[in-house]
A and B are shown apart, each in its own frame.
Chain A
Amino acid sequence: MRIILRYIRYSKQVMSIDPQYIRNFSIIAHIDHGKSTLSDRVLEQTGTVASRDMTEQLLDSMDIERERGITIKSQAVRVDYVADDGQTYHFNLIDTPGHVDFTYEVSRSLAACEGAVLVVDATQGVEAQTVANAMMAMNANLEIIPLINKIDLPSADTERVRAEIEEALALPADDAVLASGKTGEGVHDLLEAVVYNIPSPVGDKTAPLRALIFDSYFDAYRGVVALVRVVDGQLKTGGRVRMMATGAEALVEEVGIRRPAEVPCETLGVGEVGYFVTGLKDPAQVKVGDTITLATGGVEEPLPGYRDVKPMVFTGLFPIDSDDYEDLRDALEKLALNDPALVYEPETSHALGFGFRVGFLGLLHMEVVKERLEREFDLDLLATAPSVEYHVYKTDGSMLSLHSPQEMPDPGEIDHVEEPYLEAKILIPPDYVGAVMDLTVARRGSFKTMNYLSPTTVEMLWDIPLSELILDYFDKLKSSTKGYASLDYELAGYQTSNLVKLDILLSGKPIDALSFIVHRDKAYDRGRVLCEKLKAIIPRQMFEVPIQAAIGGRVLARQTVGAKRKDVLAKCYGGDITRKRKLLEKQKAGKKRMKAIGNVEVPQEAFMAILKVDD
């Protein structure tokens, strides 16, 4: 009886799969070039998901991903494909984000693959993230299959894009797959190209276990679930394993593959990608990028580590209702579990109370996290203006890493301040070189060089302070190039700058959550514009509210929100009373979204106003 049961259980997947029939690959692309739709077609044409179960962009499981039409988290799915040679191949397809903020997610996914499909939009051609992702894949020694997508569109220009791929990326594009994620055309060619061009994984199945954790998430019932790629040996249900970096040990409660629903199996062998239920309750014990080995008799040498990811943008997150502080902490902990780029530490503000200083990869990352916190954890949050990490060298020789303007020491104690610079790569048609010059110089950028990638695409390289980039630079870049510009950047180190802390005072009191650090030459303009913005944002109260911008004690700009003179519905007869009550309730709900600072009601947008300064 026992034997029969075991047999039935084993029949799902008796032994690990022969690696020669495994293909692990990612789909990489610039944002909006159609990766997720293409992934959907692959799932559909391989019968992994019946068309009737298809929802648009199946691998984008978060509401925010579907709504915004972007991929934020990597997703892995097992696809079985019967190739034209009659053999069944097992594909592990890993969908990756396209936005520059999420580059780290891409690098994690690539480390679990032998190949990558580089998707290029047939109407847009090569863009900045196309270049960046292709470089990343090349550095990871992946086999790259170029694919020109959206060939069904009337404006598709396959030959131009083919030329761009060859010129800008030095990738042979004669054999580029021509496809349309929308119609499904070319998907079969893609599947065959994956079988023949992407190498099968190589590993030692007799060696002790070594597996990479490339993603993880928290399941309320099962604890931390890790997504892993086995390199050597086997990951078996019931075995004991150790995470090499954290030292945490765990019983392998369940392993399995995702199709994309989770299907348990007994073992994951060399080259396989799947999930692993650790049963661990503490997210911090399972780090993305860590290597798993056997608890006893494991290896000593971990797999090559991942690129160390560092948050670049910091903001204060405060619960509007101070009772939600604990909930916010728990929520951040859960999100940080599979988002190693998300870091946070407690912060206290005189104006806003208890909250957290949270570090992000960029502004989109910040928006997405804030939105997830509000939606998935039902929190009402207030975010302060983002800042970057400044290095303050004090006169006593010590150095202070500053994440928040509040921590800025007195001017007398400061020797000099350095700020992070980026090397920015901007791809544009040649006509817009002048516009990008004007914009970027105004943002304290220094021009480095310019190359023609093709007759229609210019690559410009700049050094630009990160603090300037996080102020609506990307929006401005897009609008001054009619949407043609694409941008990629990486941290290029610190440079000395003449920076000062600008304080904002409401009713004569400095509001710590509104202060920010700015280049001295721009302090006056920013202060003036910000006072004007705040005047427009802060609703009239029953008394005058003076708004001032000041450096130290010196006031640079001033505006006044006049006292509210009249706020009353004069008519209130039989049928009006219910209406009036509803109006008052609506006003009250509006006030709930504001933060009372002293006796001034300040709307949430006020704290982000500094982001929207038009120069």
Chain B
Amino acid sequence: MEHSLMLPNQEPYGALYIHVPFCKQRCLYCDFATQSIDYASPELRAYTDDMILAIRRAGRNELLGGVRTVYMGGGTPTFLGQKYLTELFYTLSLTMHLTEDVECSIEANPDSLDGRMVRDLWALGVNRLSIGVQSFNDAELQALGRIHTAKQARDALAAAKERFENVSVDLMCGIPGQNLESFRRSLEEAISLGAMHISVYPLTIEEGTPFANMVAAGEMPDVDSDFQADCMELAAEVLQAAGMQRYEVASYARPGFECRHNIAYWTGVPYLGLGKGAISMAQNSEARFRFDSGGEVQEELTAVEALAEDLMLGMRMTVGIGPELIDRARQTFASFDEVCDELIERGLARWEGDRLVPTTQGWLCGNELFATLLDLAP
């Protein structure tokens, strides 16, 4: 969990990510850095100790002074349990200014989130809960290999709402056995239970997962991207009618409840990742690096490539890219205006005042839009 990359004139980190790579049981679609482990395993103790050291070291090296958002994800962070979570957030509050205006999120799984856990997290300074519900339909949950039921999801959400206003729910579309009606019910239920933020992800079949093997063996149909497109359109319709705004391809929120941590990822803010498999991004005016928590560089981008990446990431969001980024792009890429015209002609983007923003079609066929922007950098 050593952090070893230091650039000259490095921009300060604005976001901190803490990874907890443990789950009670791996879901069938999951290819995240996580492992299923027993509650009593000594590994949990050891991992927590290492993380405490990593946080303190980052503090000592003055890496946390500019951090405005903290996100603990996994895996299943709540699987760590009361004691270890307390230690981690206590360390964090001693090491950095974990004030009320710092967004501090934790991911939770319905089966390990109860009233007591909610109260403790609240007391430790966590101010945003993101619950991995995926669906409010038991058959669909089972198909995904989730370890919780729809009832547990409802209970967890109710418990969360007792303390937290800022509660987010993840929902999935394209689940085997799902139809538009059942997906609509999941959306409506998330709203009625008080979610202020909803992420809608289409199921993807990742290499090496049980789902990939099942598809290869013909035991399960491959993803139906037409159905997923229908779901994404339905989500936009239902959630916007309920007063939520779509601020990113897959993210909806009531005004003021957008996830600031995720927005940091999409706006070129440097982020520090701690824990097994966590990725950090550091940059200065010359270059952008991504490296893992062992300090190994995964990707090195020139400032020009980083700019193209910012354009691509910007177009994930409803606000698109603003005048400042557009000016830089015009100065850097001779063909920028031409490319904008092409995107507009293909129906992928449009001008909204002085901002270039994605269209619905641009979101659905995001890879076309994103690839075109990435191609700006030679």
Q: Which of B125-149 contact A (CB under 8 A)?
A: none
Q: Which of A421-450 contact B (CB under 8 A)?
A: none
Q: Are B313 and A575 in contact (CB under 8 A)?
A: no
Q: Are B225 and A566 in contact (CB under 8 A)?
A: yes
Complex CA gap A195/B174 in Å reads 76
Chain B residues lying within 8 Å of A6, measured Cβ to Cβ, are none
Q: How far in angstroms is the closest Cβ of chain B from A571?
A: 6
**Sample of 27 A–B contacts (CB below 8 Å):** A542-B368, A564-B365, A565-B364, A566-B364, A567-B225, A568-B249, A568-B364, A569-B366, A569-B367, A570-B202, A570-B249, A570-B250, A571-B250, A573-B262, A574-B17, A574-B271, A574-B273, A575-B33, A575-B273, A575-B278, A577-B290, A578-B279, A578-B290, A580-B370, A581-B374, A583-B367, A584-B370
Does A220 sit within 8 A of B, measured CB to CB? Answer: no
Complex CA gap A578/B277 in Å reads 13
Q: How far in angstroms is the closest Cβ of chain B from A358?
A: 34
Complex CA gap A562/B17 in Å reads 41
Q: Are A573 and B367 in contact (CB under 8 A)?
A: no
Instruction: Convert B1-42 into 0s and 1s, putting 1 for each residue whose CB lies closer than 8 angstroms to a CB of A.
Output: 000000000000000010000000000000001000000000
Does A588 sit within 8 A of B, measured CB to CB? Answer: yes
Does A3 sit within 8 A of B, measured CB to CB? Answer: no
Q: Are A577 and B225 in contact (CB under 8 A)?
A: no
Does B258 sit within 8 A of A, measured CB to CB? Answer: no
Does A572 sit within 8 A of B, measured CB to CB? Answer: yes
Does B70 sit within 8 A of A, measured CB to CB? Answer: no
Does B84 sit within 8 A of A, measured CB to CB? Answer: no
Does A451 sit within 8 A of B, measured CB to CB? Answer: no
Q: Are A567 and B367 in contact (CB under 8 A)?
A: yes
Chain B residues lying within 8 Å of A584, measured Cβ to Cβ, are 367, 370-371, 374
Q: Which of B352-378 contact A (CB under 8 A)?
A: 361, 363-368, 370-371, 374-375
Q: Are A574 and B225 in contact (CB under 8 A)?
A: no
Q: Are B228 and A574 in contact (CB under 8 A)?
A: no
Does B232 sit within 8 A of A, measured CB to CB? Answer: yes
CB nearest to A588 among chain B residues = B371
Q: Are A574 and B202 in contact (CB under 8 A)?
A: no
Q: Are A587 and B371 in contact (CB under 8 A)?
A: yes
Interface size class of B (residues with CB under 8 A): 35 or more
Chain A residues lying within 8 Å of B313, measured Cβ to Cβ, are 572, 577
Complex CA gap A587/B368 in Å reads 10
Q: Are A568 and B279 in contact (CB under 8 A)?
A: no
Q: How far in angstroms is the closest Cβ of chain A from B48?
A: 21
Chain B residues lying within 8 Å of A571, measured Cβ to Cβ, are 201, 250
Complex CA gap A578/B299 in Å reads 7
Complex CA gap A567/B369 in Å reads 10
Does B103 sit within 8 A of A, measured CB to CB? Answer: no
CB nearest to B201 among chain A residues = A570
Q: Are B201 and A568 in contact (CB under 8 A)?
A: no
Known: A564-B365, A570-B250. 9 other contacts (CB 8 A): A567-B364, A567-B365, A567-B367, A567-B368, A568-B364, A570-B249, A577-B281, A577-B290, A578-B298
Q: Which of B266-310 contact A (CB under 8 A)?
A: 266, 271, 273, 277-281, 290, 298-299, 309
Chain B residues lying within 8 Å of A564, measured Cβ to Cβ, are 225, 365
Q: Are A566 and B365 in contact (CB under 8 A)?
A: yes
Does B152 sit within 8 A of A, measured CB to CB? Answer: no
Complex CA gap A427/B123 in Å reads 86
Complex CA gap A581/B310 in Å reads 12
Contacts A542-B346, A565-B225, A567-B225 known; A577 to B265 CB distance under 8 Å?
yes
Q: Are B277 and A542 in contact (CB under 8 A)?
A: no
Q: Are A581 and B265 in contact (CB under 8 A)?
A: no
Contacts A570-B200, A584-B367, A584-B370 known; A565 to B226 CB distance under 8 Å?
yes
Q: How far in angstroms is the closest Cβ of chain B from A542?
A: 6
CB nearest to B33 among chain A residues = A575
Partner of A572, one of B228, B266, B346, B361: B266
Does B68 sit within 8 A of A, measured CB to CB? Answer: no
Complex CA gap A578/B312 in Å reads 12
CB nearest to A570 among chain B residues = B250
Complex CA gap A251/B267 in Å reads 72
Q: Are A542 and B201 in contact (CB under 8 A)?
A: no
Q: Are A575 and B279 in contact (CB under 8 A)?
A: yes
Complex CA gap A574/B280 in Å reads 7
Complex CA gap A580/B368 in Å reads 13
Chain B residues lying within 8 Å of A565, measured Cβ to Cβ, are 225-226, 229-230, 364
Does B197 sit within 8 A of A, measured CB to CB? Answer: no
Instruction: Convert A551-594 into 0s and 1s, putting 1 for each residue whose CB lies closer than 8 angstroms to a CB of B.
Output: 00000000000101111111111110110110110011000000
Q: Which of B43-102 contact A (CB under 8 A)?
A: none
Complex CA gap A420/B313 in Å reads 60
Partner of A566, one of B226, B279, B371: B226
Q: How far in angstroms is the closest Cβ of chain B from A137?
A: 51
Q: Are A568 and B363 in contact (CB under 8 A)?
A: yes
Chain A residues lying within 8 Å of B112, measured Cβ to Cβ, are none
Q: Are A581 and B226 in contact (CB under 8 A)?
A: no
Most chain B CB within a 10 A radius of its CB, from A562, A575, A577:
A575
Complex CA gap A465/B250 in Å reads 58
CB nearest to A582 among chain B residues = B299
Chain A residues lying within 8 Å of B365, measured Cβ to Cβ, are 542, 564, 566-568
Chain B residues lying within 8 Å of A568, measured Cβ to Cβ, are 249, 363-367
Chain A residues lying within 8 Å of B281, measured Cβ to Cβ, are 574, 577
Complex CA gap A350/B366 in Å reads 31
Q: Are A569 and B226 in contact (CB under 8 A)?
A: no
Complex CA gap A568/B359 in Å reads 13
